[in-house]
Structures are given as C-alpha cells and as structure tokens.
C-alpha cells in the first residue's frame, strides 16, 4: 500500500455550514504533507476527524490500507496517530511526565509508577533530540519546550503519523528552524507528518507535497518543489493575492506617543517590562515585533492604563498621562484594538449598537444627565456599519455574538477609528481572520497613518509587521532590543533581534 493514511470523500457538516465537502487526502509513508488553507477553511476539522474528536458524516478513512472507524482519540492513538494541538493541551501544574502519561499511566496495583515513566520520557527526549526535562512543571517551562512536550506525548504513545496544527505561531524564527530539524529527525526515524498551516514560506521550506483547501473543498494537491508560493496562495484564496500594502511616502510629524523608561510588573510579580522607551509620531506606523510573552502585554496595558507602571512615564501629545485612568486616556485621544476580541474587545451579549457606543455613551448626544439617548445611539451605529462594511444579520440590533469573526473585528476597528483618535494602538488586529478581512484591516490602518494619525502596531506575525510598519521596535524579555527602519531591514535581522541579539552583535555558535 502506498498511502499510510487515506481519507476519501470525507464530508462533515455543522449547523449552518459544511466544514468538509468531499475531501480526499492521501499521506505517503515518510513524507511531510502540508494542509494549506485560510482560517476557517476546514483544515482543523478534517484533522480532528482523523484524530477521533469528530465523526465524519460521509466518507471513509483507511490506515495502512485498512478501513477504520476512529471513534475517539484513544482509537486514533492505537492506530498510531498523534496530534500536536495548536492550543496546547497541557495541565499547567502537572509535571512534564504527568502530562505525558495522562490517560495511559503505568501502574503497579493502584499506584502510578512515576519514576519509571520519568525515565522513559528522558530516554525518548534524548533519542529525538528534544531536550525536555521530565520533572519540570509545565507552568515553569518555555513555550517552545511545552510544544516539544506535546511532541513527546505522541512519541510516548508510539505514534507513526504525527499531525502538527499551526505549530509555528508561538516560536521565534530560530525556534522554527529547530522544529524543522526535529521534524526531519522524525521522518528519518520512519514517521510521517501532516502539517496544518497557512504559512507558505514554511511549506516551501519543509513539505514534500501540499493539499490546498478552500471553503471546505479540496482545490488540489501539488508537489511543493515545483509550485511557487504565489501559485499556492492563489489556490488558497481563489484570486491573485498581493502581499504588499500600498503606502504613500510620508514624512512623520510631531511625536504623539512617548514612552520613557517604562517598567511594569506582571501578574507573576516579575518585571515584565524593563525600562522600555519608544516614540510614535503622527503619520507613521511603528510596529513592535517579538515572540509572544516577551512584554508586549505589559507594554499595552501600561500605555492604555489597565496596569500601573512601577516607574517611567507615558506622554500623549506632550501631556503626562502616566497617572491617568483608562477612561481619561481614551478621552485624551487614544484608541485601541485589543488582542482578544471576545475577551477584551466586545461585549458579546450586547447588541452591535450598544457595543459601538462603548466608549462614547457618557458623552452627548448619546446620553444626557445619565439618561441614554437611544435614537442617537442607533443612528451612530447605522453610520458606522455602513462606513466599515460590517455585516450583521439583523442590522445594528443584532447580538454581537452572531457576527462572524471578521465582522466582529471590523466592528471593533470601526468603533475605534470612529473615535478619531490621535493615537491608535492595534494588538494582533488580524488574528484568526481570513485574507479578505486581513486586507481590509491593513488598508484601514495605513489609511489612518496617511491621515496623519500615529499608529502603534503590536503583532506576532512578522510579515504583518514588515508590511505595514515604517519603523520596527523589537522586544525581548521585556527590553527594547533595538529600533530599525522597516525599509532597511529584513526578516533574518528581526528574527535575531527577537531572540535577543542586538544589531552588530555576533551570536555564540
């Protein structure tokens, strides 16, 4: 049999949507097969079926030539299929070993044999070059190591087919290189890999073949070596995609945001941000690049007023706002698009019109002397959804929960831009969105810059930073590594800075 995994004509429907429509996927033994598609195309659903989390409505799955019914993850494990999830499934206060053996604990009588298990984990870790400490607690180890624990989970269960779901979003460029090395090791040991991703560069770097999915259907399976990135992108989106955003050449104006030596403590009572300084002028986009968890959250919280700084100042248009409340800062001309639109951006149980007035409700004409003016609120919302092309089933009185992710994000963007702020802070503004929505939001951000606003962009997607920013500041371990002109740098240099190597320094070999 040629294929180790063969999913044929798989169909999976959820209420209102066909997630997988007649999909056929074939994985050869010993290959790295990429599954490419936009957010929401159906890749994760397909793999969840393979891993036993969902059942297909139609279609067959063959493993090593035999037809199987994968009813739950246990059966998938028995068949030799393992999955490294995008959101790690690790218990934070268990040790590495406890996490790995969960569900198949080695026992003697009633007692769990932790020591034996720990030794086996160490053995596996060394065999595959994973460098994982078996007795460390998950909450104490780095994100990169956590991911390797997920890999170990699969290897402990003797997985032959390894599925990686968007594995590189939490890694530095250098860690991504390490991961690719590990993947090649695994292939050399006889494993086969399915890589779910929307990152073309990575597919080109490591995959043998690639199946492209769009809106639940397979568009085609290509040989990666002989297909260009542009072609794959076109298959993914359905039209020609330009990655560059057209930017006018502009001369930035006066300094709008000035951050001086800002030092901030985080929830773990450690300094998350150390003596950070930054300037953003009107008419420019400053991007902050860095691996997740290196101080970006503390930076945003301190600038927006959600968290008090230990020392340092924040100035908005020459005014010292370091002691100001969140509300006052908003009124001074600051707007932000937060990282998590469900948690921080919107009140999902409120209607669209109620959300759009979230920062304005205290001002006239939306309220007077404590009484809300429903007419004005309604009117305002109508204007905003027209201006920003927000699609909502029942117009402005729709429950915000019922909007799609893209429209929810547009609602937030619309709300903030509508405030006409001097400073717009955008944190991960295109997370989880499809290409169309991403293009739209990028366009809007550049538009604000062209209008003379100051834009601070914080993102984990290097491409986004490189595309949009005029200047780039790199943050690592809470410190400013350096600031560079976007036009004068490249991904490699930024990658090194993200790992803490300052410009001009040599890396220890």
Partner 1 sequence: MKLNKEGVVALVAVFLGLAAGAILMSLTGNNPFQGYFYLVRGGLMNAERIGNTLATATPLILTGLSVAFAFKTGLFNIGAAGQMLIGGLAATAVGLSLDLPKIILLPLVLLAAILGGAIWGFLPGFLKARYNVHEVVASIMMNWIAYWTVYYVVPQYFKGAYLETESRKISEAASLKVEWLTDLFDGSYINLGFFLAILAVVVVAFLLNRTTIGYELKAVGFNRFASEYAGIGANRSIVLSMMIAGALAGLGGATFYVGYASIIQIGVLPSQGFDGVAVSLLGVNSPWGVFGAAIFLGLLHSGKGFMNAMTKIPPEIADTIIATIIYFSAMAVFIEGFWEWIDRKKRVRANTTEVNQDEEIIGGVR
Partner 2 sequence: MLDIIVQVFPYAIAFTIPLLITALGGLFSERSGVVNIGLEGLMVVGFFVGALVTAKLEVFIPGSAVWFGLLAAFIAGALFSLLHAFASINLNANQVISGTAINMIAGALTVYLARNITGSGNIHIIHGMVRRNIPVLDKIPILGKLFFTQTYATTWLVLAILFGSWFILYKTAFGLRLRACGEHPQAADSAGVNVYRIRYLAVMISGAFAGLGGGIILVTYSGEFNGSVAGLGFLALAALIFGQWKPLGILGATFFFGFASTIANVSQVIPTLSRIPGIILKNFPYLVTLIVLVIFSKSSHAPRASGEPYDKGKR
CB-based contact 213:407 (threshold 8 Å) = no
Parallel/antiparallel/unpaired status of strands 284-289 and 271-281: unpaired
Residue 85 binds partner 2 (CB under 8 A): yes
Q: How far is the CB of 385 from partner 1 (least distance, A)?
A: 14
CB-based contact 397:352 (threshold 8 Å) = yes
- Which CB, 89 or 115, lies closer to partner 1? 89
| Residue 306, binding choice from partner 1, partner 2, none, Cβ under 5 to 8 Å by partner class | partner 1
For 401-419, letters b (16+ CB in 10 Å) and e give eebebbbbbbbbbbbbbbe
392/154 Cα distance (integer angstroms): 42
Residue 116 binds partner 2 (CB under 8 A): no
CB-based contact 335:312 (threshold 8 Å) = no
CB-based contact 164:195 (threshold 8 Å) = yes
Q: What are phi and psi of 58, to 5 degrees?
A: -140, 165
328-331: long-range contacts, CB 8 A cutoff, minimum separation 24: 329/304, 329/305, 330/359, 330/419
- Which CB, 19 or 232, lies closer to partner 1? 19
Taking the mean position of all CA atoms in its chain, how far away is CA 181?
22
Among 17, 91, 205, 372, binds partner 2 (CB under 8 A): 91
410/437 Cα distance (integer angstroms): 8
Encoded one letter per residue, x for contact with partner 1 by CB under 8 A and - for no contact, window 446-475 reads --------------x---------------
Strand partners, 472: 287, 484
Q: How far is the CB of 149 from partner 2 (least distance, A)?
A: 11
CB-based contact 44:2 (threshold 8 Å) = no
- Peptide bond preceding 120 in cis form (omega within 30 of 0): no
- Which CB, 228 or 394, lies closer to partner 1? 394
Q: Using only the alpha carbons of the chain, give its radius of gyration.
A: 25
Q: Answer positive or negative: Cα dihedral of 165, 169, 175, 176.
A: positive
Among 6, 61, 63, 99, binds partner 2 (CB under 8 A): 99
Among 67, 92, 158, 505, binds partner 1 (CB under 8 A): 92
CB-based contact 163:51 (threshold 8 Å) = yes
- Which CB, 116 or 177, lies closer to partner 2? 116
| Residue 338, binding choice from partner 1, partner 2, none, Cβ under 5 to 8 Å by partner class | partner 1
Of 73-81, 175-183, 280-288, 343-351, the window that binds partner 1 (rule: CB under 8 A) is: 343-351
| Residue 288, binding choice from partner 1, partner 2, none, Cβ under 5 to 8 Å by partner class | none
Q: How far is the CB of 143 from partner 2 (least distance, A)?
A: 16
Among 17, 102, 347, 372, binds partner 2 (CB under 8 A): 102
CB-based contact 286:276 (threshold 8 Å) = no
Encoded one letter per residue, x for contact with partner 2 by CB under 8 A and - for no contact, window 37-76 reads -------x------x-x------------------xxx--
Q: What is the C-alpha end-to-end distance of the chain, expressed in Å?
A: 44
163/84 Cα distance (integer angstroms): 6
Encoded one letter per residue, x for contact with partner 1 by CB under 8 A and - for no contact, window 388-407 reads ---x-x--------xxxx-x
Q: How far is the CB of 362 from partner 1 (least distance, A)?
A: 6
Of 16-24, 30-38, 102-110, 319-327, the window that binds partner 2 (rule: CB under 8 A) is: 102-110
Residue 105 binds partner 2 (CB under 8 A): yes
- Which CB, 138 or 357, lies closer to partner 2? 138
- Which CB, 92 or 451, lies closer to partner 2? 92
Closest CA to 174 of 380, 456, 476, 422: 476
Transcribe 259-321 into DSSP letters. Answer: EEEEEEE-TTSSEEEEEEEEEEETTEEEEEE--TTSSHHHHHHHHHTSS--SEEEEEETTEE-
Residue 370 binds partner 1 (CB under 8 A): yes
| Residue 354, binding choice from partner 2, partner 1, none, Cβ under 5 to 8 Å by partner class | partner 1
- Which CB, 90 or 154, lies closer to partner 1? 90
Residue 111 binds partner 2 (CB under 8 A): yes
Residues that bind partner 2 (CB under 8 A): 44, 51, 53, 72-74, 77, 83, 85, 87, 89-94, 98-99, 101-105, 107, 110-112, 153
Residues that bind partner 1 (CB under 8 A): 15-17, 19, 39-40, 44-45, 86-88, 90, 92, 138-139, 143, 146-147, 166, 169-170, 292-293, 304, 306, 325-330, 336, 338, 340, 343-350, 354, 358-359, 361-362, 367, 370-372, 374, 391, 393, 402-405, 407, 431-432, 460
């Amino acid at each position: 049999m040629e294929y180790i995994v063969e999913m044929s004509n798989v169909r999976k429907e959820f209420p209102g949507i066909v997630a997988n429509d007649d999909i056929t996927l074939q994985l050869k033994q010993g290959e790295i097969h990429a599954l490419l598609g936009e957010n929401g195309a159906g890749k994760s659903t397909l793999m969840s079926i393979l891993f036993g989390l969902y059942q297909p409505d139609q279609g067959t799955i063959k493993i090593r030539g035999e037809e199987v019914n994968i009813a739950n993850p246990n059966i998938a494990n028995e068949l030799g299929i393992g999955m490294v999830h995008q959101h790690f499934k690790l218990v934070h206060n268990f040790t590495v070993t406890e996490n790995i053996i969960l569900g198949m604990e080695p026992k003697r009588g009633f007692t769990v044999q932790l020591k034996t298990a720990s030794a086996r984990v160490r053995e596996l870790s060394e065999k595959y070059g994973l460098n994982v400490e078996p007795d460390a607690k998950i909450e104490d180890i780095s994100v990169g190591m956590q991911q390797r624990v997920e890999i170990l989970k699969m290897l402990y269960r003797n997985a032959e087919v390894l599925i990686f779901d968007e594995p590189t979003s939490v890694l530095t460029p250098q860690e991504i290189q390490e991961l690719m090395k590990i993947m090649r090791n695994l292939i050399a040991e006889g494993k086969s890999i399915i890589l779910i991703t929307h990152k073309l560069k990575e597919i080109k770097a490591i995959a043998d073949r690639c199946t492209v999915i769009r809106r639940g259907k397979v568009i085609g399976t290509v040989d990666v070596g002989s297909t260009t990135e542009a072609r794959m992108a076109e298959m993914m989106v359905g039209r020609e995609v330009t990655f560059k955003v057209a930017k006018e050449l502009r001369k930035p104006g006066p300094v709008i945001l000035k951050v001086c030596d800002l030092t901030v403590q985080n929830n773990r009572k450690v300094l998350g941000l150390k003596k950070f300084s930054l300037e953003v002028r009107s008419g420019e986009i400053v991007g902050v690049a860095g691996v997740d968890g290196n101080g970006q959250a503390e930076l945003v919280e301190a600038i927006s007023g959600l968290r008090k700084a230990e020392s340092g100042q924040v100035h908005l248009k020459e005014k010292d706002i370091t002691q100001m409340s969140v509300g006052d800062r908003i009124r001074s001309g600051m707007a932000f698009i937060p990282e998590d639109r469900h948690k921080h951006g919107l009140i999902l149980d409120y209607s669209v019109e109620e959300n759009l007035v979230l920062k304005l409700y205290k001002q006239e004409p939306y309220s007077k002397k404590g009484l809300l003016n429903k007419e004005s609120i309604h009117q305002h919302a109508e204007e905003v959804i027209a201006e920003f092309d927000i699609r909502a089933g029942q117009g402005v009185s729709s429950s915000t929960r019922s909007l799609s992710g893209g429209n929810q994000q547009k609602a937030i963007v619309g709300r903030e831009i509508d405030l006409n702020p001097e400073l717009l802070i955008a944190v991960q503004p295109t997370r989880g969105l499809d290409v169309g929505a991403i293009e739209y939001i990028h366009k809007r951000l550049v538009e604000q810059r062209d209008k003379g606003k100051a834009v601070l962009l914080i993102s984990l997607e290097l491409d986004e930073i490189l595309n949009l920013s005029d200047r780039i500041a790199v943050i690592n371990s809470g410190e400013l590594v350096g600031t560079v002109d976007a036009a004068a740098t490249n991904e490699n240099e930024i990658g090194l800075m993200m790992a803490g190597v300052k410009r001009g320094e040599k890396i220890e070999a």
